[in-house]
Structure 1
Amino acid sequence: MRVHVFSEQLGTGDNARMSSRIAGALVFFTSAVVLVLEILAGRLLAPYAGVTLETFTAIIGVVLAGIAFGTWFGGRYADLVASPATLVGPVLVLGGALAASTVPLARVLGPSLGTAGITGLIALTAIAILPATAILSATPPIIVKVILEDLGTTGATVGRISALGTAGALVGTFTSGFVLVATLPTSVTILTVALVTAAVGLWLWARHRPQRNVLGVVAVIGLAAGSVLTASVSSPCDVETAYFCASEVPVADNPNASILLLDTLTHAYVNKTDPTDLRFSSIRMFASAIEAMTDGPIDVLHVGGGGFSLPNWVSATRPASTNVVLELDGALVEFVEERFEPAPVEETIVGDARVSVTQVGNDFDVVVGDAFGGLAVPWHLTTAEFLAEVSGVLGDEGFYIMNLIDHGDLAFLRAELATAATVFPHVALATLPERLEVGGNFMLVAAKRPIPGDDIIGAAAALDLGIVVLTGDALDAFVDGAQILTDDFAPVDQLLEASSG
């Protein structure tokens, strides 16, 4: 005998009916919205917390917590009302309002919480993202309650709803990562998704005419407030690319110079009228190694373009040289070309350097690794396998110079030096003396020939930079058996976290 449930609760009025197709579409849609918010949260928080493993861990964890709470709450609340179909509209309107609030919440709280360690990062993510994901995740269990009329089909009904939710999540993920991030600013995308969600909710709200509309009224007010705040709280970016929040910051003591700011990081100093003006110590260390180890025109491969300050310097000081730049972010290249007016380079290849480094030839004099910024480290550009690919594009006398940033016990720096030593016969470390104690920028030099440490120190002094260079036994003592980074095991974020902690 089949047992029919909810017949008394659903009744026969128009306000209780929902077709199976509409119900499935709603589950698909809300699951897609949750994943859109999750993917875009990485870009939304990046200007304040950076792009690190910790950032994405916090986002994934908070969103999963929201889904868990939302599905529990939605199912429990659906059991308490006579007509659960009347809940869906107000839930979507409220979810849209909370989604609209994520942008102003992140922008207002990000500067203080984003740099407050893991606790602050989780708090920022929870305040900005958790409410919207939790409310929207209440939809699937409510829908199950609405359409489940026969216990004999429970498995098929729940399985169908689960499959539709997963399919929606997949569409939301792919659409966000491959289309939306590269097409629209994050704030515009989130506000558009929020408005569409609320519009669907208002339609359902009117269609099912819930007797208690307090939740709907609150949601509409919240949506309006969230939309106004999103428009009024300005973006910290001059331009938002698929990877960075990029800004040009004027330099107070030089009207001809600007700073390139990427997310939370000061990335480059560019003097538009004097390319030999190298203010940052990391770039001056690069210049010191090039001056000490090469003569005349050189062929340079730059892993990371940034503000193009080093290619500018090479072109200005070594006429007839060749600069090839590997840059992940094509929109950033366009922004830099428009705002910072760098000297033309022979070729700019847009894409991940791990892929493009094998497509550029094999006779460079110098490879410059400057794709690192603060705690945002592309780990796959630190491994022995990648360094072997770098070695493969160098000529017989070529060398690799890499900018590294580390603090505390310098665990990541030591690991990278140990890794380089497995690929190159000669390795050195250059930095300001005090940084060996307090951390900061370091330059790794890895070469196929002996490294003239004293010459690098002399070239740095000519650029008003007093550095030390560790080689041989001194370097071995500093590295002290640090672990080697490989494609199979490169816990770069953890090493940096241990160092900064």
Structure 2
Amino acid sequence: MISQSAPGPERMGGKTAGALVFGTSGAVLVVELVSLRLLAPYLGLTLETSTLVIGIALAAIAAGAWVGGRAADGDDPRRLLAPLLAVSGVVVSLMPFVVRGAGELTGPGVFLVGALAIFVPGSLLSAVSPIVAKLRLTDLSETGSVVGGLSGTGTLGAIAGTVLTGFVFVTAFPVSVVLVGLGVLLVLASLVLGLWGRGLRRAGLPVALLVPGALGAVWGPGSCDAETVYHCAQVVPDEDRATGRLLVLDGVRHSYVDLADPTHLEFDYVAALASVTATQFPPTEPLTAYHLGGGGLTLPRHLAQVRPGTRSVVSEIDRGVLEIDVESLELQTGPDLEVRVEDGRLGVRSMAASSQDLVVGDAFGGVTIPWHLTTREAVSDVRRVLAPGGVYAANLIDFGPMDFVRAELATLRAEFDHVVLAAETETIAKEPGSGGNLVAVASDSPVDSAAFVDAMVERGLGWEAIEGAELDTWIGDAMVLTDDHAPVDQLLTLSPPQAEAP
């Protein structure tokens, strides 16, 4: 016969129990989401990276729940709570220094360090819930309500951690501040619980260990000039060109701007895009241009200089990048240059039909184009925006077999009558180790590919262009990307050679 009452340790109050479960569950989600931003400069913000981080966090939650449940059946689970929070707080506060240091030393090898940095605090914090349940459960007749209530409270905490991180913490504070601040809160909570659990004698150790985490976050490796909502951003002066500035986002060279000479085009792909405009439209004629992605706004500045009166509209999703453009890259907006902080897909949808001579595709997260800008539906919207004779020119990145670029070219070909691909000769030939930036040109009017190549040669590019049957052979049986199926991250081949991604 089973007794309806179960003796155990001192019962924990309902409000204290709820606060602990709510806070620790939320902390796990804060760590998970912020980890993506720590790892992005070294692994990229790809679907695979996000999937692995989520998987590690879920594994940590499962392991913590299992181990915490076993530990809760010990003699006095009260003494476990303070150490769990203290160790978690110290590890979380050290994350910016440790992960960025590993990233600078090992590159992609940072994932192993990052995995541990997520798993250790995630599992320790997840062990709190079953321990709290044991401390609350003194009568077996209340099992359902106690366990169910704590489970619901933990879920609400996880939701709060997710929402606050995405909408408040990352927007208002640098990643280092978020993690060190969370670590401090966890250690303080451990001190309070130490008083209740009579285990405060060693409290000085976790407090002392917060110091290296805080110092490392401020002066450690991999620091940013600015942490925007989406990127770790740096502006690097060019040692060989006094007025040259390089915009680096998450470790990738995104834009180069000459503060004194907007006509200077450092990156080959930008020179190729400029060659498109030079050959597809009458010289010096002002254009209406729409740009998907801003970065340093090198091409809009160039067009304003060589084609006075050109009106450019830019959709840039990251307000922080725009602030860097203004503060560090001397961007001046006005009637002829409008920058909208918005997602590119929504931006192109808002443009009037047949309103633009030129649309430039230049939006990247790391070296990956956001998948929803690559699909036939997105390309159809671009085609709708173009005026008769208008041109869509897109910067693409791929390596190896070029599976992604071939699919994107197949998608463009499904919507436009004329498509041209330009890149270095070895990239077109898909030679081993080749790849990087390619430029696709699409229009319903014929593209003067010979003049396009000549313009690139004049700019010092050793690029070639293919079209027609040759391009058809190059594309092969590649899939057409759609909103229903666009596995961009899986098609893309990443390789060590440096690509320039705005």
Q: TM-score, normalised by structure 1?
A: 0.93
Cα distance change of structure 1 residues 460 and 285 upon mapping to structure 2, 3 Å threshold: same
What is the DSSP-based 3-state SS (H/G/I as helix, E as strand, rest coil) of the residue aligned with 2:492?
A: helix
- Where do 5+ consecutive residues of structure 1 fail to align? 11-15
- Report the CA distance between 1:6 and its aligned residue: 4.8
- Is 1:21 paired with 2:8? no
More deviation, 433-442/410-419 = 433-442
What is residue 458 of structure 1 aligned with on the other side? 454
- Is 1:369 paired with 2:356? no
Q: 1:263 aligns with which of 236, 250, 269?
A: 250
In the alignment of these two chains, the number of paired residues is 488
Residues in 1 aligned to 2:19 and 2:332: alpha-carbon distance in whole angstroms: 53
Residues in 1 aligned to 2:349 and 2:147: alpha-carbon distance in whole angstroms: 49
What is residue 135 of structure 2 aligned with on the other side? 146
Q: 2:463 aligns with which of 430, 449, 467?
A: 467
What is residue 249 of structure 1 aligned with on the other side? 236
What is residue 40 of structure 2 aligned with on the other side? 46
- Is 1:335 paired with 2:324? yes
What is residue 96 of structure 2 aligned with on the other side? 103
What is residue 325 of structure 1 aligned with on the other side? 314
Residues in 1 aligned to 2:37 and 2:494: alpha-carbon distance in whole angstroms: 25
What is residue 358 of structure 1 aligned with on the other side? 349
Residues in 2 aligned to 1:270 and 1:365: alpha-carbon distance in whole angstroms: 24
**Aligned letter for 1:268?**
S
What is residue 66 of structure 2 aligned with on the other side? 72
Residues in 2 aligned to 1:18 and 1:407: alpha-carbon distance in whole angstroms: 58
Per-residue CA distance 1:208-239 (angstroms, 9 max, x = gap): 2139x66x565444334433433441552110
Per-residue CA distance 1:176-232 (angstroms, 9 max, x = gap): 001111111111111111111211111111122139x66x56544433443343344
Aligned pairs (5 A) from 1:107-256: 107-113=100-106, 115-116=107-108, 120=109, 122-210=111-199, 219-256=206-243
**Aligned letter for 1:395?**
A
Residues in 1 aligned to 2:365 and 2:64: alpha-carbon distance in whole angstroms: 37
What is the DSSP-based 3-state SS (H/G/I as helix, E as strand, rest coil) of the residue aligned with 1:152?
A: helix
- Could you tell me whether the CA contact under 8 Å between 2:101 and 2:221 is conserved in 1? no
Per-residue CA distance 1:406-453 (angstroms, 9 max, x = gap): 000000010000011111111110112122221111001110111111
- Report the CA distance between 1:127 and its aligned residue: 2.6
What is residue 419 of structure 2 aligned with on the other side? 427
Percent of counterpart pairs with the same letter? 40
What is residue 500 of structure 2 aligned with on the other side? none
- Report the CA distance between 1:83 and its aligned residue: 2.1
Residues in 1 aligned to 2:82 and 2:16: alpha-carbon distance in whole angstroms: 12
- Report the CA distance between 1:374 and its aligned residue: 5.1
Residues in 2 aligned to 1:375 and 1:407: alpha-carbon distance in whole angstroms: 11
**Aligned letter for 2:451?**
D
Residues in 2 aligned to 1:329 and 1:225: alpha-carbon distance in whole angstroms: 31
- Report the CA distance between 1:22 and its aligned residue: 0.8
- Is 1:83 paired with 2:76? yes
Cα distance change of structure 1 residues 50 and 318 upon mapping to structure 2, 3 Å threshold: same
What is residue 446 of structure 1 aligned with on the other side? 442
What is the DSSP-based 3-state SS (H/G/I as helix, E as strand, rest coil) of the residue aligned with 1:371?
A: coil
Q: 2:404 aligns with which of 392, 403, 412?
A: 412
Per-residue CA distance 1:277-320 (angstroms, 9 max, x = gap): 11111000001111010121111101111111101110010011
What is the DSSP-based 3-state SS (H/G/I as helix, E as strand, rest coil) of the residue aligned with 2:415?
A: coil
Cα distance change of structure 1 residues 346 and 230 upon mapping to structure 2, 3 Å threshold: closer
Cα distance change of structure 1 residues 225 and 17 upon mapping to structure 2, 3 Å threshold: farther
- Could you tell me whether the CA contact under 8 Å between 2:256 and 2:266 is conserved in 1? yes
Cα distance change of structure 1 residues 332 and 298 upon mapping to structure 2, 3 Å threshold: same
What is the DSSP-based 3-state SS (H/G/I as helix, E as strand, rest coil) of the residue aligned with 1:434?
A: helix
- Where do 5+ consecutive residues of structure 2 fail to align? 498-502
Residues in 1 aligned to 2:5 and 2:220: alpha-carbon distance in whole angstroms: 49
- Report the CA distance between 1:131 and its aligned residue: 1.1
Cα distance change of structure 1 residues 360 and 284 upon mapping to structure 2, 3 Å threshold: same
**Aligned letter for 2:271?**
R
Residues in 1 aligned to 2:369 and 2:297: alpha-carbon distance in whole angstroms: 19
What is residue 13 of structure 1 aligned with on the other side? none
- Report the CA distance between 1:458 and its aligned residue: 1.2
Q: TM-score, normalised by structure 2?
A: 0.93
**Aligned letter for 2:442?**
A
Per-residue CA distance 1:142-195 (angstroms, 9 max, x = gap): 001111112222122111111111110001001100111111111111111111
Residues in 1 aligned to 2:104 and 2:45: alpha-carbon distance in whole angstroms: 15
- Report the CA distance between 1:365 and its aligned residue: 0.4
- In the TM superposition, structure 1's runs of 4+ consecutive aligned residues that sit over 6 Å from their partners are 498-501
**Aligned letter for 1:237?**
C
Residues in 2 aligned to 1:4 and 1:99: alpha-carbon distance in whole angstroms: 41
What is residue 382 of structure 2 aligned with on the other side? 390
Residues in 2 aligned to 1:5 and 1:96: alpha-carbon distance in whole angstroms: 36
- Could you tell me whether the CA contact under 8 Å between 2:102 and 2:113 is conserved in 1? yes
What is residue 493 of structure 1 aligned with on the other side? 489
What is residue 277 of structure 2 aligned with on the other side? 290
- Report the CA distance between 1:498 and its aligned residue: 7.8
- Could you tell me whether the CA contact under 8 Å between 1:34 and 1:137 is conserved in 2? yes
Residues in 1 aligned to 2:210 and 2:337: alpha-carbon distance in whole angstroms: 50
Residues in 2 aligned to 1:33 and 1:79: alpha-carbon distance in whole angstroms: 24
Residues in 1 aligned to 2:286 and 2:306: alpha-carbon distance in whole angstroms: 9
